[in-house]
Amino acid sequence: MTKVMAVSDAVAQIPDGATVSVSSSSTLGCPDLVLKAIGDRFEAKGHPREITSLHPIAAGDVYGVKGMDYIAKDGLLKRVLAGSYPSGPSSVEMPEIWKMIVEDRVAAYNVPSGIMFDMHREAAAHRPGVLTHVGLETFVDPIRQGCAMNDKGAAEPIVDRVEFGGETWLHFPNIIPNVAVIRATTADEHGNLTYEHEGAYLGGLEQAICVRNNGGLVIAQVKRVTARGSLRPHDVRVPGHLVDCIVVDPDQKQTTETLYDPAISGEVMRPWDSFALADHGVEKVIARRAASELRCGMTANLGFGISAMVPRVLLEEGHPDAVTWAIEQGAVGGVPLSGFAFGCASNADAFVPSPQQFIYFQGAGFDISFLSFLEVDVEGNVNVSKLGKKPYLTAGCGGFVDITAKAKNIVFSGWFEAGAQIELAEDGIDIKAPGKFTKMVDEVEHVTFSGKRAREQGQNVLYVTERCVIQLTEMGLVATEIMLGVDPQEHIVGPSQGRVQVAENATLMSKSLLTDGPMGLEL
């Protein structure tokens, strides 16, 4: 008997009050057809009502794939927990889910992506929730916001601070999903799923096991259906006995603005010279200095923003595979992509399921992480997860908290001031006009990374800007390298109002960072 059915019939089985887990990362893996059908059924029938939705990484974007916006309706959505949320520039309209959050119409939480996957694993095995060090001293910790994004969220805490075995931990009691909505490329009639056109394995197996072990409903959206017995067992990522319903969407996008690119799913390998290099400019200068921290043979994690340019620096310098990149969606090796395709990689060595990738990150098996910052404070705390004035310009924490919890070496990249006018020359930078405000503040709006905990754990932390390289020390933020053309007092100490001091033995940053063309980087 086939499990293939109309999407309306599949979503009609979702009960009121359900807890629904969705496996995706923006458009990558997003089961958009099913989410739209849930919203449509609510509009037509008034059901399902009062659901809780779980999203380890964001579902949907602001560029045509609505994802969780389809279920962002009063009466339908009661509570939402997500590692990240759809985000975009101020030129696009605020997503509906963000309107609900800022207007306090839904209990909302930003939970680190790795912890979200951990929650599924623990609920599947009927263990008593997640016990973790990830998030201590950050906004995840109940001593701060406890993941809550608004008053409704704060009124219903989801995490406790506990003592166990002589240590302090964060405890997330189980929130048990009874519906999973996952996506694959191909299903056979029994429900076996393969992922040959997907750019990542985003926890679908873990979510399906969790829901099945708790007596729930698993809906799989796929691109196509084949006969039972025609799939190679080694290719099946989710076995059919875990799947209840199959819904077909032949037009599902591979990722944002990309219908299908075989290089993203590892079916073809691109020549190295087919990748665009980073444009010459201030951000490339920052990325070059960050790249200088690399050594041949390292495994490096990579985040969004300026940091995403670092692999392109290595390409330009003739070191395309000197470093193994590992990103949270699961790609290992190759070249992480940027722009709309961020979260994907071409020429990858492997695609590790995202939940397992986060285990690797939480245990700090990698050598170094390159991440970006919105603001840094005198304690070395970093905010990337909240902008009170324009909340949807940031997606939230994603995997940032999991990655930085124990990382041995972290390089944060960003502008020293927002909106400064800077010209590059071969012999230095010329700061034509100061920025609107410094990113070096007394206290960050949201603690996504704890400088205090980093110092306690002996983590090596750098903040790379166009003006200087700042080191986190016991004395606070200290600039140890100065860019050519920068006056330390006028351009660093003054604009930061003394929050960044300059080391007596500070050195000059290399002139080669400023060249238009390869800088001669040797790893």
Round to whole Å and give the CA distance between 210 and 293. Answer: 40
CA dihedral 31, 33, 35, 41 (to 10 degrees): -160
Cα 97 from chain centre: 18
Q: Is the dihedral of CA 346, 350, 351, 357 positive or negative?
A: negative
* Burial class of residue 190 in the structure, from the number of CB atoms within 10 Å of its CB (0-12 exposed, 13-18 middle, 19+ buried): middle
Note if 267 is an active site residue: no
Q: How many residues does the chain have?
A: 523
Round to whole Å and give the CA distance between 322 and 358. Answer: 23
Round to whole Å and give the CA distance between 49 and 470. Answer: 50
Q: Which amino acid is at 512?
A: S
Please write down the HEC assignment for all residues of 434-488. CCCEECEECCCCCCCECHHHHHHHCCEEEEECCCEEEEEECCEEEEEEECCCCCH
Cα 138 from chain centre: 16
Please write down the HEC assignment for all residues of 91-147. CCCCCHHHHHHHCCCCEEEECCHHHHHHHHHHHHCCCCCEEECCCCCCCCCCCCCCC
**Given the residues 122, 283, 328, 375, the one annotated as active site:** 328
Round to whole Å and give the CA distance between 100 and 96. Answer: 6
Query: How many other C-beta atoms can be found within 10 angstroms of the C-beta atom of residue 339?
Result: 9
522: CB partners within 8 A, 6+ apart: none
8 A C-beta contact, residue 61 and residue 27: yes
- The residues annotated as belonging to the active site are 328
